[in-house]
Structure 1
Amino acid sequence: MRRADPRTWPWWVQVLAVYGVARAFSAVVLVVVAGHQAANGWTGASPGYVDYTGLMWDATWYRQIAETGYPDALPVGADGVVQQNAWAFFPLYPLLVSVVMTVTGGSWALAAPTVSLLLGAGAVLLVHRTVVVGAPRAVAARPGLPLATVLLVSVFPTSVVLQVGYTESLALLLVAVSLLAIVSRRYGWACVAVLALGFTRAVALPMAVVVAVHALVRLREWRDSGRRPPTRDLVGIGALAVTAVVSGFAWIAVVGWATGIPDAYLQTQEAWRGAATTAPFAGWTYVPAFWFGDAAPFVVLGAAVVVVACLVTPSAWRLGRELHAWSAAYLLYLAAAVEPGSSLARFLVLAFPLAAATAGLVTRPRWARWAWTGSVVVLMLVLQVVWVWQIWRIVPPSGWPP
């Protein structure tokens, strides 16, 4: 019997196959590393796969939210400083998992990784479609780019978080939905996705930049064609811009209202920082020095050069304006809003258009394209093993949070 050529499979089957193999690899890595895990505050020694993916690190905070909700008041230490608490974490993901728990009767440790795994599957399907619709020039230059993008996202060193009790799967899905809806000019759906994003992760504000870039693209199209802008589109773009800004501050406002302290969310965030400040870019003044000492300025400069280089390569410019804008705005937002610690690598999963830019660096001949992509995949898989061993595995009494 003749075996079917995978290249003839429907696109969605190919995407899910790539995602499934990648997640199976990560599962094996997690199981092996779990065998070397010491007892800690979340699990016993050598925990099983379910506990290791459902209870470790921030997953327990989300579990607390799903099972008991948020605290009525901010916990304060003897020094009057706000302590770490559940208000730092957004509600949509634990709400979805709690619904699944109620319907199935399953535990958090089983339901949360399962929900993440399934949301991740939906996310990579949408990533594929977003690249197809949003980056036609890049796809024309590099055939197979949408699937290659899915492959690089699926094996990214921190892609393990797509199958644990974390929000990355849901956030990736909503970012992809938002971008796909914007480039498809379905502004109503984009508003829904962006609003949901604001209750999933603190990443809605960069989407306002994407909306602004999209508006400029549409205005240029109308000007060049001599057509009058349709009222419906103007209203849709305007509503989406407002939604993105509102969504970016919505959770901050909700936390302030619920606790009676206007800046409660920011005070809570400070509890996780090496210095008690959430000022933009402040983390870059002390974290690099902690890691690299006197060499810190050179390391930061080198990192900035690499980021800029990624954004100005021909393969990056071939991305659609909206996908390129998301990559640039999101990276700048991370630099401004996030302390540059061990969690930063996890946050990069949402910058998936850069995976398309990476895969599109080599366009021909065909063997060179796949040799390049294969080399990147091997490097990412090696780094994934390193990340799980060094970061996800905790060596009591403390560790660097993923």
Structure 2
Amino acid sequence: MSHGLDERAGATRELPPSSPVHAALGAAARTTALWLARRPWWLQVVLLYAASRLVTFGIFAAAALQQGTNPWFGPHPDYFHFLQIWDSEWYGRIIQNGYPAVLPRSSTGAVTENAWAFYPVFPYLVRSLALITGISWQVLEQVVAMAAGFAAALVVYRLFRHFAGHGTALWGVAFFAFFPVSAILQVPYAESLGIAFLAWALLRIVERRYLAAIPAVVLACLTRPVGVPLAVMLAALFVIRWVSRRRRPLAPGELLRLAVLTAATAASALAWPAIAWAATGVMTAYTDTEAVWRGSDLVPFMPWVDTGTYLFGPVLGPVAPFLLVAAAALYLTSSHVKLVGVELRLWCAAYALYLLAFLYPQTSTFRMMLPFFPLALAAAALSRSRAYRGAVLVMFVLLQIVWVVWLWDWAELPGGGDWPP
């Protein structure tokens, strides 16, 4: 009996007081949180995104000190030059020289790597700003990428507010901003601008302002290759709206406006391959160029089977893509993912199908996960626990370090070649 009393006495025993340092840090954190809570939503989003970019700056700066000899510059570059590598070099070529009128070919007649693999909005925007302002394009491409990231964060928040309260939407933006591959949002790539346009298009679609979405869709399709999954998503949405129109009445003319947007999206998806064809005289200029990076012509869906066989062997390997599809289907139909609404779930499903059909799985696949950003809201809504949400952010930052050091920091493989980010 006395043992039980001792246990209860121990359970109610007061904890030792916090140290002055811990108390001061706790008070500062509470004061900062209260100050932020009184600020406008847009300022909260801007400050949150700025904090994420400072973290990524520190990761990049530290990784640059470890960079050895590489194809672009000498060892141990500064932050600015460290970000000018990989595909940043291709965007720089486009800014300076545009796109080739004649496809470069090897001695065997095969198309070789060239600028037609990269969409035009980002490099031509930088080029135009450089001509107008006289500022170096190397500086402007980083400024544009950074500014586009802030714009993307603001639009993503507006999109998330259609499905969740302020706090959960803000945590969703935090998950997006600190995501392991979010480092790419501040380098001279088209990703941040592409996400901004994509989020803008999805926001208008969720609001059912279909005609107002057309400019955003056109810009998104000419910034990153998102046109095909967007068209598939809108076609599926049209079917859903048509089938359920009697149970859920639509606004007058809504189906017609959605059909116009779907047609405009399909045309936008074909625009860049058509432009490449018109400029080079080769109908397959774009697809031939894309195939160069894959090493062979693309057979839809087969790269995932081949990769599965390589990773898991001849028995389990061909089954692995089907297991991946089943897992994705279960996740997208789970109760907490339904929070993001039918439009965003259709987008994620269509984009997943697009990657499965046309992507050659490799290390760059991680970077292709950013357009799944609506799932950041579902992840934030999974639990309101600050311990859970904080742990996710810490995990994301640690994985961001892994991504930068493993993939952005260039290192030649033992057999030659490298792992691209």
- So what's the TM-score if we normalise by structure 2? 0.86
Work out whether 1:67 is the aligned partner of 2:72. Answer: no
- Residue 170 of structure 1 corresponds to 193
Instruction: Compute the displacement of 1:104 (Å).
Output: 3.0
Taking the aligned partners of 2:330 and 2:405, their CA distance within structure 1 comes to 30
Work out whether 1:186 is the aligned partner of 2:212. Answer: no
Letter in 1 for 2:76: S
Letter in 2 for 1:399: D
Taking the aligned partners of 1:57 and 1:298, their CA distance within structure 2 comes to 34
Q: How does 1:211-222 map to 2 (within 5 A)?
A: 211-216=234-239, 218-219=241-242, 222=245
Taking the aligned partners of 2:212 and 2:108, their CA distance within structure 1 comes to 46
Taking the aligned partners of 2:338 and 2:116, their CA distance within structure 1 comes to 39
Q: 1:306 to 1:234 in 2, by over 3 A?
A: closer
Instruction: Compute the displacement of 1:14 (Å).
Output: 1.1
Instruction: Compute the displacement of 1:287 (Å).
Output: 3.0
- Residue 279 of structure 1 corresponds to 299
- Residue 230 of structure 1 corresponds to 252
- Whether the aligned pair in 2 keeps the contact of 1:168 and 1:350 (CA below 8 Å) is no
Mind listing any 5+ residue stretches in structure 1 that lack a counterpart? none
- Whether the aligned pair in 2 keeps the contact of 1:123 and 1:176 (CA below 8 Å) is yes
1:245-296 deviation per Cα after TM superposition (whole angstroms, max 9, x unaligned): 111111111111111111111111111014x122211211323444555564
Q: Percent identical across equivalent pairs? A: 35
Q: 1:79 to 1:210 in 2, by over 3 A?
A: same
Taking the aligned partners of 2:191 and 2:205, their CA distance within structure 1 comes to 21
2:370 to 349, 360, 382: 349
- Residue 156 of structure 1 corresponds to 179
Question: What is the DSSP-based 3-state SS (H/G/I as helix, E as strand, rest coil) of the residue aligned with 1:188?
Answer: coil
Q: 1:226 to 1:346 in 2, by over 3 A?
A: closer
Instruction: Compute the displacement of 1:132 (Å).
Output: 1.2
Compute the RMSD of aligned alpha carbons.
2.2
Taking the aligned partners of 1:158 and 1:58, their CA distance within structure 2 comes to 15
- Whether the aligned pair in 1 keeps the contact of 2:306 and 2:318 (CA below 8 Å) is no
- Residue 51 of structure 1 corresponds to 81
Taking the aligned partners of 2:226 and 2:128, their CA distance within structure 1 comes to 24
Question: What is the DSSP-based 3-state SS (H/G/I as helix, E as strand, rest coil) of the residue aligned with 2:109?
Answer: coil
Taking the aligned partners of 1:35 and 1:398, their CA distance within structure 2 comes to 22
- Whether the aligned pair in 2 keeps the contact of 1:51 and 1:109 (CA below 8 Å) is no
- Whether the aligned pair in 2 keeps the contact of 1:213 and 1:321 (CA below 8 Å) is no
2:396 to 356, 363, 380: 380
Letter in 1 for 2:89: T
Work out whether 1:332 is the aligned partner of 2:361. Answer: no
Instruction: Compute the displacement of 1:221 (Å).
Output: 6.8
Letter in 1 for 2:370: V
- Residue 16 of structure 1 corresponds to 46
Taking the aligned partners of 1:292 and 1:86, their CA distance within structure 2 comes to 35
Question: What is the DSSP-based 3-state SS (H/G/I as helix, E as strand, rest coil) of the residue aligned with 1:271?
Answer: helix
- Residue 89 of structure 1 corresponds to 118
- Residue 371 of structure 1 corresponds to 387
Instruction: Compute the displacement of 1:320 (Å).
Output: 1.1
- Whether the aligned pair in 2 keeps the contact of 1:314 and 1:361 (CA below 8 Å) is no
Instruction: Compute the displacement of 1:185 (Å).
Output: 2.2
- Residue 153 of structure 2 corresponds to 124
Taking the aligned partners of 2:49 and 2:81, their CA distance within structure 1 comes to 22
Taking the aligned partners of 2:313 and 2:50, their CA distance within structure 1 comes to 41
1:322-375 deviation per Cα after TM superposition (whole angstroms, max 9, x unaligned): 01111111111111111111111111111111111111222xxx4x2x222111
1:113-161 deviation per Cα after TM superposition (whole angstroms, max 9, x unaligned): 211110010001000111112x2xxx26xx6221111101101111011
Taking the aligned partners of 1:226 and 1:383, their CA distance within structure 2 comes to 46
- So what's the TM-score if we normalise by structure 1? 0.90
- Residue 16 of structure 2 corresponds to none
Question: What is the DSSP-based 3-state SS (H/G/I as helix, E as strand, rest coil) of the residue aligned with 1:144?
Answer: helix
Mind listing any 5+ residue stretches in structure 2 that lack a counterpart? 1-27
- Residue 395 of structure 1 corresponds to 411
Question: What is the DSSP-based 3-state SS (H/G/I as helix, E as strand, rest coil) of the residue aligned with 1:5?
Answer: helix
Higher mean C-alpha displacement, 286-295 vs 100-109: 286-295
Larger of the two Rg values belongs to structure: 2
Question: What is the DSSP-based 3-state SS (H/G/I as helix, E as strand, rest coil) of the residue aligned with 1:398?
Answer: coil
Taking the aligned partners of 2:281 and 2:144, their CA distance within structure 1 comes to 33
Q: 1:324 to 1:15 in 2, by over 3 A?
A: same
Letter in 2 for 1:230: P
- Residue 136 of structure 2 corresponds to 107
Taking the aligned partners of 2:313 and 2:60, their CA distance within structure 1 comes to 32
Q: 1:223 to 1:106 in 2, by over 3 A?
A: same
Report how many aligned residue pairs link the two structures: 387
